[in-house]
Amino acid sequence: MKVASFTISGTASYGIVTDKGVIDAGKRLKAIPTLKALLAKGSLDELKKLTGEKPDYALADVALLPTIPDPDKIFCIGVNYATHLAESGHPTPAHPMIFTRFANSQVGHGQPMIRPLESERFDYEGEMAVIIGKAGRRISREAALGHVAGYACYNDGSIRDWQRHTSQFAPGKNFAGTGGFGPWMVTTDELTDVSKQTLITRLNGVEVQKAPISDLVFDVPALIAYCSTFTELVPGDVIVTGTTGGVGAYRTPPLWMKGGDTVEIEISGIGILSNPVKDEGSVAATRAA
């Protein structure tokens, strides 16, 4: 299944995305109002029973939200592809490099990613997000994939100068509206071996990143085992697995996103996350008008 969170006429819901439209699960499963709540109840099978029902809306009629709008935790993995390690000059780490994002830094598919007033160094990072469907602590590598609900595309947009103020990445990763997440989650029954998928990033239609998911330094089971050692993973948690080489910061000259650009993250078997880029000043002017 493709499962998305969205708003329709100002009301938040979630549902199944099909070729014919969107089946509103929030309207049908009234006791389970969000995708995160559905995962917490272990009710993906109940959701699957709705797949044959008539869609309620055309996909174009809903505003897509971040796939999980309200995750308890978002863990982002730094320099987790060999090509990105090489271009950044980092040695291969002994353990995953982890920083956190906050939910309010995220936007959904089609929503603008915002270049803040404080910087012109707004960089793209195409990534795959892992969405946790089953709680666990000290999860073994062998059991890890049984805790995954599905996968989504992610753009870990980075304000590079703020990221590099210190050795801690969080300031450059949490400006409002800088992370794209979506367009939906594809459940694991459709992607039994996600390592076979390919990640591509395009800026204004030009390919700037490409790599197989199998190039991850720490793969999905390793990341789940590591993160669940120091904290309990709960349904709706998100692990953003890292970006490959080709980011704008290491190009000559650097390639920064700016207002008027469009950035796409495509992962085979999952979909395409597309976001326009807007400068914060232009967003404020639009709202004022």
CATH number at residue 206: 3.90.850.10
Say if 284 falls within a structural domain.
no
pTM score: 0.95
Q: Mark whether 127 and 246 lie in a shared domain.
A: yes
CB contact at 8 A, 199 and 127 = yes
User: Do 79 and 56 fall into the same domain?
Assistant: no
Residue 271 and residue 5: Cα distance in Å, rounded? 15
pLDDT at 286: 53
Are 25 and 51 within one domain? yes
In a domain, 286, yes or no: no
Query: Domain boundary residue among 64, 92, 115?
Result: 64
Sign of CA dihedral 37, 38, 39, 40: positive
Q: What six digits make up the tokens of 264?
A: 């796409």
For residues 212 and 195, is the Cβ–Cβ distance under 8 A? yes
| 192 shares its domain with 216 | yes
State yes or no: pLDDT of 1 exceeds 70.
yes
Please give the residue range of the domain that contains residue 271: 74-279
- Tens of pLDDT along 254-284? 999 999 999 999 999 999 999 999 999 875 5
- Cβ neighbours of 158 (radius 10 Å): 27
Domain boundary among 64, 97, 112: 64
Whether residues 88 and 223 share a domain: the answer is yes
- Give dist(CA 207, CA 76) in Å, integer: 23
Q: Is residue 287 a part of any domain in this protein?
A: no
Are 30 and 92 in a shared domain? no
Residue ranges with strand state E in the chain: 2-8, 11-18, 21-24, 63-64, 74-78, 97-100, 106-107, 113-115, 122-123, 126-132, 148-156, 158-159, 179-187, 198-203, 206-212, 238-240, 262-267, 271-279
**Per-residue pLDDT tens digits for 87-136:** 888 888 899 999 999 999 999 999 999 999 999 999 999 999 999 999 99
The C-alpha atoms of residue 128 and residue 243 are separated, in whole angstroms, by 8
Peptide bond before residue 253 is cis, with ω within 30 degrees of 0:
yes
Q: In this structure, what are the phi and psi dihedrals at residue 233, rounded to the nearest 5 degrees? A: -85, 135
Long-range (24+ apart) CB contacts under 8 A made by 91-94 are 92/217, 93/217
Same domain, 51 and 190: no
**38 and 149 housed in the same domain:** no
Write out pLDDT tens, residues 147-194.
Answer: 999 999 999 999 999 999 998 999 999 999 999 999 999 999 999 899
Where does the pLDDT of residue 289 fall: very low under 50, low under 70, confident under 90, or very high at 90 and above? very low
Give the pLDDT of residue 284.
53
- Cα 214 to its chain centre, rounded Å, is 18
Query: Of 12, 42, 64, at which residue does a domain stop?
Result: 64
171 in the same domain as 151? yes
The CA distance from 110 to 61, in Å, is 12
Domain count across the chain: 2
Is residue 271 within 8 Å of residue 198, measured between CB atoms? no
110 and 238 co-located in one domain: yes
Domain membership of residue 25 (yes or no) is yes
* Pair 109, 24 in one domain: no
At 285 the pLDDT is 47
Can you read off the two tokens belonging to residue 90? 């980092």
User: Tokens 């980011």, residue?
Assistant: 247
Q: Are residues 125 and 163 in the same domain?
A: yes
